[in-house]
Structure 1
Amino acid sequence: MRQKLDFLKTRKYSKKKQYLISVLLIILTAVLCFFSVEFIGYRAVALILLLVVSVNAILFDILPVMLCALLSALIWNFFFIPPIFNWQIATPEDGLMFLMYFVIASINAVLTFKIREVERKERDEEEKGKAIQLYNTLLNSLSHELRTPISTIIGAVDTIKDDQTKLSADNRDALHSEIEIAAFRLNRQVENLLSMSRLEAGFIQPRADWCDVNELVFSAIQDNQDNANHHKIEFAPDESLPLFKLDSGLVEQILYNLIHNALQHTPQNTEIKIEVSYSDKNCIIQVLDNGEGFPENEIDLVFDKFYRLNHTGAGGTGLGLSIVKGFTKAMSGNVQLVNRQEGGAKFIIEIPCEFSQQINLENE
């Protein structure tokens, strides 16, 4: 029920719009009841109007609902309680019914509003708890992911600057290499945090242009080459592929994160394979490995922010795959993770786009 209320979002409408919709609902119901009152009776009309007031109480704020309760009572009196088309009530029984109707409608509106307020407070508390948990998870992850490269850089620089330490050219080059690797690692984590911030703020606006996905794959592989010493990355470019009209920056980041995730979380000597194809409407990218795969009960969670698989070693903030999902959705695409029957995992990215053949056909 709570999810449905969130989905409707009618309480975020302007006051003017809430008043207008709620009044129209009452009037429309009254018109329908007026033409069927001979069959259902004017007492049944009261129950129907009460039902509409209840629906309004679920959808809107308290003031529009109270207006509906008052309006429905007046409509019931004027158009349905004999004698009709005037404000008189012929019998004490009908007068009591009218009074009870107004009281019940008002109580119903207030109670429904109070229930929704309690639900809102519970939901806010739940979201606050989740935010604190995510914040703690982020701090725990960053305490390692950012501190380690920073410590490496500081230690290497201190060693180089130490006048009492006599360094050979090889040792100096090794320290420079450590600084470079640590700086790239630090930059990658900062880029992931910035990407996630852009996604949450809704600042990701894809800019589609014609691109060669084969080149994007090669670029993503090259960027991951320093971490691929103990893995084999296989990609056979298909020269017959058309050009795709995509945001090349987002697609390259998706590829980079998928390859990096496979390198980081599969055993040594694992083979990682990238395949690119297309259907009538989609560019399809698949990243496969022959590692250990994912626990079935965690497959639906791996794209959540800061989520890390149970029993995984240190490393990673849990942002890479959530960025993959966010960038893919930003381009109206879909990402899927499945375990392969022969062992390992397969990520499938499908992004709707135009193909270069379509341009050629139009020109012809």
Structure 2
Amino acid sequence: MTVKKKIQEDQRLQFLIGIGLILMISFICYLFINVIGYHIVALILLLTVSVLAMFFKIWPVVTVAVLSALIWNFLFIQPRSTFSITTPEDALFFLMYFVIAVMNAVFTTKIRKAEEVSRRRKERENEMKLYNTFLNSLSHELRTPISTIIGSIDTLKENSTKLSLQNKIDLFTEIEIAGHRLNKQVGNLLNMSLLESEFVKLQLDWYDINEIIYSIIQLNESEAINHNIHFEADEELPLFKIDAVLFEQILQNILNNALQYTPPNSVITIQTSYNLKECIIHISDNGKGFPEDKIEKVFDKFYRLPNTATGGTGLGLSIAQGFAQAHNGTLSLENLKTGGAKFTLKIPAELAHPKNFNND
């Protein structure tokens, strides 16, 4: 929890900060009372109460407002060091200060609370829009493979003796592809639930990044029929201590996004590099790239670019970024000047050169 959030939620801390601030400002003003005059002190204290009202809850602010009025009376209004007021003008001025300070504290906190309610309502409306979009996408993403599986199985059951061997192979292939698609979406849902639960515990071990990338490319062979994936292994690349399952999921989601949203015959290039502190992976393509004003949103949960083809739930890149952050790493996106987009993954990790690495 951040310090700002802790202060906003802890009312006792607000009392302490508010009272301490008023006492400190009053002391400073007291040192210069002969220069600034007690009317200016009233404005300074009133400004302090107004600023606190912008951030604190109502009771700490009201308490500070009342305290500031009493301190102003005791230390600055003649006769000083007493609560008595000798002139009608000062009495009226004190009464006006007291009323204005308290009303300002109450009204400012009320307005802030109303703005907070309005902001939450708008956020809720946006969340509902995203949720409905997600449900529509998820409905399509789940129903389509399920319908394919059920339809293929029904065809096999009803026409088993009439189908040729090739027909059966085609149907089994459709079932396999649909099963993988279904498994991918269920996996995304489980991964998102894991991230939202904030219960991601890394299982670190030494891994060869080249092998992981090759396995991801092989896993996507069927979906990459109309694309060209280019990767040249760096034999000098050291071993890295990472969570291989999460690392594979990051690369899988980025690569799947490129395969799904770039035109046929696009070239997807995977490059590896490293420094003494981190492993670096670049995944770029020569497609159309991303709209510049949408780049910051592509990692948002459920977000999908406007006018994109049907398919996907808008979770893949959000999960990839979440798993990168779980490694204390970063995942960034930029458009290439030559066309297309480039994802850059940086994962802080221990490294060891294979020839100096002894397996137990």
The reply to whether TM is greater than 0.5 is yes
Are the aligned partners of 1:285 and 1:349 in contact in 2 as well (CA < 8 Å)?
yes
Is 1:200 the counterpart of 2:196 in the alignment? yes
Which shows bigger deviation, 120-129 or 332-341?
A: 332-341
Alignment-mate amino acid for residue 327 of structure 1: F
Aligned-pair distance for 1:164? 7.3
- Percent of paired sites with the same residue: 54
The aligned residue for residue 315 of structure 1 is: 311
- One of 223, 230, 233 as aligned partner of 1:234: 230
1:65 aligned residue: 61
1:217 to 213, 216, 227: 213
Name which of 257, 261, 283 aligns with 1:261: 257
For 1:127, the aligned partner's letter is E
* Shift of residue 245, structure 1, vs aligned partner: 2.4
CA distance in 2, matches of 1:337, 1:257: 14
Which one-letter code corresponds to 1:236 in the other structure? E
Work out whether residues 285 and 341 of structure 2, in 8 Å CA contact, stay in contact via their aligned partners in 1. Answer: yes
Q: CA deviation at 1:191?
A: 1.0
Asked if the contact 2:8/2:14 (under 8 Å) is kept, the reply is no
Answer yes or no: is 1:122 the counterpart of 2:155.
no
TM-score by length of 1: 0.91
Q: Secondary structure at 1:227's aligned position in 2? A: coil
Instruction: Give the structure 2 partner of residue 38 of structure 1.
Output: 34
Query: C-alpha distance in 2, partners of 1:254/1:164?
Result: 41
What are the residue-to-residue correspondences of 1:162-311 with 2, within 5 Å?
A: 162=158, 166-311=162-307
Whether the 8 Å contact between 2:8 and 2:55 is mirrored in structure 1 is no
**Can you list the C-alpha shifts for 1:273-304, whole angstroms capped at 9, x where unaligned?**
11110134332110011222223333232222
What pairs with 1:285-364 in structure 2 (closer than 5 Å)? Answer: 285-356=281-352
What is the CA deviation profile of residues 238-267 of structure 1, one whole-angstrom value per residue up to 9, with x for unaligned ones? 121122222222211111111111111112
1:107 aligns with 2:103: yes
Distance 1:81 1:227 in 2: 81
Shift of 1:148: 0.5
How big is the shift at 1:317? 1.4
Q: TM-score, normalised by structure 2?
A: 0.92
Asked if structure 2 preserves the Cα contact closer than 8 Å seen for 1:33 and 1:45, the reply is yes
Find the aligned partners of 1:355 and 1:163 in 2 and give their Cα distance: 57
Q: Distance in 2 between matches of 1:50 and 1:221?
A: 66
For residue 152 of structure 2, the aligned residue among 153, 156, 159 is: 156
* 2:111 counterpart of 1:92: no
**Preserved CA contact (<8 Å) 2:138 2:313:** yes
Letter in 1 for 2:279: C
Q: Any conservation in 2 of the 1:10–1:59 contact (CA below 8 Å)? A: no
What's the C-alpha RMSD, in Å, of the aligned pairs? Answer: 2.1
Runs of at least 5 residues in structure 2 that lack an aligned partner in the other structure: none
What is the CA–CA distance in structure 1 between the aligned matches of 2:150 and 2:160, rounded to whole Å? 17
Question: Is the contact made by 2:77 and 2:85 (CA closer than 8 Å) also made in structure 1?
Answer: yes
1:202 counterpart letter in structure 2: E
Distance 2:123 2:231 in 1: 43
Aligned equivalents of 1:195 and 1:162: distance in 2?
A: 38
Compared CA separation, residues 111 and 11, structure 1 to 2 (3 A)? farther
2:265 partner amino acid: N
Q: Of the candidates 40, 52, 55, which is equivalent to residue 51 of structure 2?
A: 55
Q: CA offset at residue 190 of structure 1?
A: 1.1
Q: How many residues align?
A: 354
Aligned amino acid, residue 60 of structure 2: P
- By how many angstroms is 1:165 displaced? 5.5
Q: Is the 8 A contact 2:7 2:13 kept in 1?
A: no
Q: Which runs of 5+ in 1 are unaligned?
A: 1-5
1:138 maps to which residue?
134
Distance change >3 Å, CA 276–CA 57, structure 1 → 2: same
Measured in 2, the distance between the counterparts of 1:87 and 1:180 equals 86
Q: Are the aligned partners of 1:283 and 1:353 in contact in 2 as well (CA < 8 Å)?
A: yes
